[in-house]
Amino acid sequence: MLNKLSDTIYYLSNQDDRERPTLGLVCGDRYSLIIDSGNSPQHAQDFLLEIENLNVSPVKYVVITHAHWDHFLGMNEFDATVIVNSQTNESIKEWKNLSYDDSSLQKYVNTNQMSAMCMKIIQTDMPNRDCFKLKSPDVIFKNKLTIDLGNKICILERIKSTHTDDSTIIYIPDEKVIFLGDCAYGTTTNSLFHYKQSLLLPMIKDIQKYDAEMFLLGHESICDLNEINIYWEELTTASQVVKSTSLENAIEFFKAENKRDPNDNELFFIKAFVNDLIIQSQ
CATH of the domain at 76: 3.60.15.10
In a domain, 44, yes or no: yes
From 91, 93, 222, 80, select the one nearest 158 (Cα to Cα): 91
Task: Report the sign of the C-alpha dihedral through residues 173, 179, 185, 188, in that order.
Answer: negative
In a domain, 127, yes or no: no
Cα 53 versus chain centre, distance: 26
In a domain, 116, yes or no: no
In a domain, 239, yes or no: no
In a domain, 247, yes or no: no
Decide: 97 and 133 in contact? Cβ < 8 Å.
no
In a domain, 120, yes or no: no
In a domain, 9, yes or no: yes
Decide: 65 and 181 in contact? Cβ < 8 Å.
yes
Using only C-alpha atoms, the chain has a radius of gyration, in whole angstroms, of 20
Using DSSP's 3-state secondary structure scheme, residue 212 falls into coil
Q: Based on the structure, what is the number of domains in the chain? A: 1
Decide: 71 and 218 in contact? Cβ < 8 Å.
yes
DSSP 209: T
Q: How many CB atoms lie within 10 A of CB 252?
A: 12
Can you give the pLDDT of all 282 residues of the chain as single tens digits?
899 999 999 999 999 999 999 999 999 999 999 999 999 999 999 999 999 999 999 999 999 999 999 999 999 999 999 999 999 999 999 999 999 999 999 999 999 999 999 999 999 999 889 999 999 999 999 999 999 999 999 999 999 999 999 999 999 999 999 999 999 999 999 999 999 999 999 999 999 999 999 999 999 979 999 999 999 999 999 999 999 999 999 999 999 999 999 999 999 999 999 999 999 998
Q: Which domain holds residue 44?
A: 3-98+134-195+210-225
pTM of the full structure: 0.96
In a domain, 188, yes or no: yes
What are 241-271's pLDDT values in tens digits?
Answer: 999 999 999 999 999 999 999 999 999 999 9
